[in-house]
Structures are given as structure tokens and as C-alpha cells.
Structure 1
């Protein structure tokens, strides 16, 4: 597999070792952005499309800068223009319609879409978002995109014979969007498939979807797959056959109880290890995060390890989200220094000549 990782090493990186640091995607929105949406939806106010677009641009610029200040090697705009990971894309895909809000957990709701006609690519989904973020950032930009299996599984299907048939059509649309993102200059694409670990018997469907998605993607474009929560033992090691460079996994929230799953067979891809628990507002100290990072070195050597939060940070207080990122980057840099000094022993996954 082509090394797609080294291109993200900063030119002035201080250490010989390099642990790529990034985030999964979502981030807390500034409170004033919620107010902007309220004004836009209030017919008594003159807050129009241009006003809302300006507010979204400002929010994206602000959060991108926040990611840079934390020290991340690869940034995201915090998904400031998105509301929910399925709903957002369904609004852009021909063939979907909405029938009302559905409760998903706690007090959280989303408009669960229905597929009422054959899905078709009607307009670009993320190209404008990427181009804006890329122009606003001095760092490389990652583009998270909801995968076709989750788009199919988390929708009501009123047209297709089954979820598999719908997922394959959606995979072709995701492929079209990624082609356009690559043409716009995107070098790091993350496919989000949270439905996979909750319905692991369908892992072959996800693999077939990924084959369709990456069919014509250039070799220098990094493709990751994010799978949060669930029982990874039901999809590992089979998932290693997926045509992706990196697997982004949520393990911190489970206190790394599933870590041994990935020791049964060599982890041949890159591992983006969740080292921050996004479900709690308590900020992990640097020393704790360093211990979490070392868990990843039990699975892969340093050149295959990416350091990331478990999942999106959007449900946390913004101050806590920022401090977690900042501590995570510091922890990664300190681990690199210790690796350079030969103070850390990597686990059984290290190359034989180490």
C-alpha cells in the first residue's frame, strides 16, 4: 500500500518520529451561530441567505483557526455547516424526503429521511466547504463524509429491495463526490460508517461499497474509515481487507477493553487510535493521554499510528474540546521525543528489524 501519511508531516516538525494528529470531524458550534440559524428561520427578521452564509464562513474560519492553535497536523472546520451526519447529506441527494424528527438518544433528535425514489447525484455536497476551509488554513484539511452503508441503514427505505441495493447506489454517489473533492485538491478523505459496528454481519456490504468508492481515487489520496463504538471482534480481522489506508476506532471510552482484539492478527493498515473520551467534559491530563497513545503502540509501530479523539467533539463544552485537543497534541509530541530517545518499547506489531 502506498504511503499516504508522510505528506502531512509539517516541514518544521521537531522530532524524527511523527505521530499524525487530527480530529474525527465535528466540534462545538459557537453559540452565536445557533442564534444566526434562529434569526434565519424567523420570518419576522430580515436575516437572509447572505447573512447566514457569512455567519457560517465566520464560524468555519474560527474553528479551523482553533484547530490550528491547538497544534493539530491535519484540521477540519468542525463541520460548522452540517447539522447531523445523515440528515445533512440526505438533503443534498435526489430521491430522499423528510417526514419529521425521530428521537435517537437522550434528548437528541434528527430528521430521519426516507428514500422515496432512486437516489441520484444532484449537486456537490462538500466541495465548497473543503475549498473554503483549505483557503482559510495553513494546515492540511481532512474531509469527513458519511459512508453509503450508514446513509442507507439510518434511513427509511421505501423503494429499494434491501439495504444492500440502496447502499451500492449511494456508494456510487459518494464516489462521484470524492472525485470532485480530489479534483479540488483534497488529499485526506474520511468515510464515516458508525452503522458498521452495530450491524457487523453486513461487513461484506461495507467492503463492496468501499471498493466502489475508491475505484478511481489517486494513490496519493489518504482514505480513512471511521467506525465508532460497537463490538470490533465481529469485524476484525476481516475489515483489514477493506481498501483504505487507515482505520479510526473508538477505544478510549471503553477503557481499551477491546485492545486485545487487534492483537490476534497483525494490524496491517494504519491505526487512528481514539485517545480522548468525547463523552465526558473532564479534560484528560497529558500524562494520561500519553499512556493512551502507548496502547496504540501495542498494536502498530509509530509509523502506522495516528492520534485522534474517539469521535466527534460536538457535544462537549467548547473550552473543554479545545483543551482536550491541545493536551492530545502535546502528549503526541512528548511521545515522539521519547521514541527518538529510545525510551519507549513498541509492542509485538513492530517491524522485525526494530
Structure 2
């Protein structure tokens, strides 16, 4: 093993890694229901969250993960909860939820009611707690991409005279959040982004055109939002991005290959690593990886599904890793589940035991491939 490969094995993203969210324990689910009914206080809920997160972090370390998260245990949604913490953004109850493959989420949305900004963010305290209990593991924090507010938020008329002006404010807000997280010790940040999946299919691109916008122009705007948001990060802060086609109760929202937008994703984003969904045919083949031009960009292959409990044939997974290495050198590749286990508090349709078997499956295969 060369020195460069040794360095890649020992630094994040790790050869066996994970996206971040975990199934909520029953005790935590019950506590959140009790809080909603006014049966317990904010402080009592916080104490239960703290206790369950401590257990989760210890479990992650026990199975061999080198990066630990809080599992999104304090969140209902992977994106809305964070975005509502930005200045000028509010949550509201919608008439209907988001449509997935045969199921619909709870009715909830976000709207921009004032200029977007950052003065403080309550999730910085969430990271501080995670960092305090991580021990010798890397405390990994996940936040939604700025593009999620652009794609999911309803913007009050008259606030911004152009998409560019809105993105400019959003970039400044994200720069503030990222610097604040760094100041508290965050060195491994993951940005989650489902907006790119809109560009994967003709239907998705048509939905952009239906709003009177040019898909190519919007893609450039999204890339700019990412690159500018992370441009000022210190050299010792690793920023990865997870790209997904939707994950709710083991279903998905969209399908399509990375091909249509591959040059932008693989050649135009200044992140340090990409967590990519590749667990089934919905994601297409590895050919779009030919646009990975940087030798310092880690590609984390999401070949293990988080949607179902059945374990993948390890030999088939190894074969797919070998296939991907035709486009990206093996030492730049990593392995993970294709998504988190609970992008929302409802979680995917598998048991906690199956969840941990999946994580161990990732780690066992990674140890064999990157010896």
C-alpha cells in the first residue's frame, strides 16, 4: 500500500462510512409525541434526546465507525428543521405532503418571509453536544444544501428581484453557519442535496422549465451556491456532499442517471467528497464518473441500500466497486449505504438490528477491498 493510499484509508470520508441518519428509538418517538401533546417540557425532551444520542454514538463506535453523527435524533426532517433556523425562513403547514413512490409525507413546508441571513443557529448547540461525546471518533455533522431552500422554499413576492439576489443572501448565510460550526470544532461537514436529482430526468428538467426557468442556468446557479458557500472554509475542514433521489419510508421520489448533469457534479463542485446513490438501477451505471478529473475527490459509492433489511451479496458489491474503479482509481473510492436510515423521523422499513447489520456489512466489505 502506498503512502497516499494509507492516508486515504485513515482520513474522512472513510473507506467504510455512512450518510448520517439512524432509526429513531421507540423511547425517543414516544417522548416527541408527549412533547407535542404538552405532557413533557422542552427540557425533559432534550434530556431524553441527549441520552439516546449518547447511546447511538457509543453504538456507532462499537461497530467500528470512525465518524459518528447524532443520527438526526433531534430532527423531524433532514432539511426543513435546519432551514427554519436561518433568519427569514419559517415553517408552515401545507395542504398536502411531498409525493413519493406510493406514499405521501406529513403536510409541511418552508417559506421565506424576509431577507435570508445568519445571526445564530440553534443546531450549532446540537453539534457542540455531539462533539463533546464523540471521544476519539470524528464528529460528523450533516446539513441540507442551500439549494434545498431554493427548490423547496416558497419565497414571498417582492423580497428578491432575481434568483441570483436570493442565492447571494443564501450564500452569505451558509458561510456564517459553516464558520460557526468550524469554530466549535466541526472538521467533517456533509451537505445533503436532493435538488440535483431534478436534472436527472426529462420530467425533472421539464418541471424547471414549467416555472419559466432554464435548466442549464439553474444548474450553474446551484453549483455557484455550493461553491461559494464553502469557499471560505479553512483547509482542515472536510466538506462532502450526499446526492439522493429521495428517501421516505423506504420509497423514493425520482429516478435517473447522473449522466445529464455529470460534468457539473463531478467536475464543477469544489467539495472534498461525494456520497452517491448507486444501490439499484434507478441510479444508472458508473459511466458518468468519467467526469471525475480531480485526484483529491473522494467518491463514496452507496451500494448498500438503507431501504430494506436484506443484506447484499458481498461478492456482487465487490464486483461493482471493481467496475467503478474503471473510471475512478480504487484508492479514491469508498463504500457506504446509499442514504441514511431515517431521512425523516418516521424512518425506513427495517428494524434497528437490520440497520446495524447493514452498517457492519459496509465495514466488513470495505476492510476486504481496501486491505
In terms of mean alpha carbon deviation, does 197-206 or 327-336 score higher?
197-206
Once the two structures are TM-superposed, the CA of residue 110 in structure 1 deviates from its matched residue by 4.7
User: What is the aligned counterpart of 1:20 among 15, 26, 49?
Assistant: 15
* Equivalence for 2:131: 134
Equivalence for 1:234: 260
Of residues 52, 56, 74 in structure 1, which corresponds to 2:49? 56
The question of 1:115 aligning with 2:78 is answered no
Which blocks of at least 5 consecutive residues in structure 1 are unaligned?
11-17, 338-354
Q: Could you say what the CA RMSD is over the residues aligned between the two structures, in angstroms?
A: 2.5
Once residues 97 and 256 of structure 1 are traced to their aligned partners in structure 2, the CA distance between those partners, rounded to angstroms, is 33
**Structure 2: how far apart are the matches of 1:236 and 1:55?**
43
Alignment partners' CA distance in 2, 1:215 and 1:161: 25
Contact 1:8 1:140 in 2 (8 A): no
Q: Which has the higher helix share?
A: 2
Q: What's the CA shift for 1:255?
A: 6.9
Other structure's SS at 2:93 match: strand
Query: Per-residue displacement from partner, 1:258-297 (whole Å, max 9, x unpaired)?
Result: 2112236646422111121123232224334333433432
CA 1:178–1:278: 2 relative to 1, 3 Å: same
In the alignment, what sits opposite 2:365? 331
Partner of 2:194: 194
TM-score in terms of structure 1 length: 0.84
Tell me the TM-score normalised to structure 2 length. 0.80
Distance verdict in 2 for CA 1:91–1:150, change over 3 Å: closer
Asked if the contact 2:82–2:123 (Cα under 8 Å) also holds between the matched residues in 1, the reply is: no
Query: Alpha carbons of 1:266 and 1:217: their partners in 2 closer, same or farther (altered >3 Å)?
Result: closer
CA contact (8 A) 1:23 1:309 kept: yes
Give, in whole Å, the separation in 2 of the partners of 1:306 and 1:265.
14
Distance 1:215 1:207, change over 3 A: same
Q: Contact conserved, 1:289 with 1:328, CA < 8 A, in 2?
A: no
> Would the alpha carbon gap of residues 178 and 41 (structure 1) be closer, same or farther in structure 2, given more than 3 Å must change?
same
Equivalence map 1:245-256=2 (5 Å): 245-254=272-281
Quote how far apart the aligned CAs of 1:125 are: 4.0
> For the residues of structure 1 that align with 2:42 and 2:76, how far apart are their CA atoms?
17
Q: 1:61 to 1:295 in 2, by over 3 A?
A: farther
Tell me: CA distance 1:164–1:89, structure 2 relative to 1, closer, same or farther (3 Å): farther
Secondary structure class of the residue paired with 2:181: helix
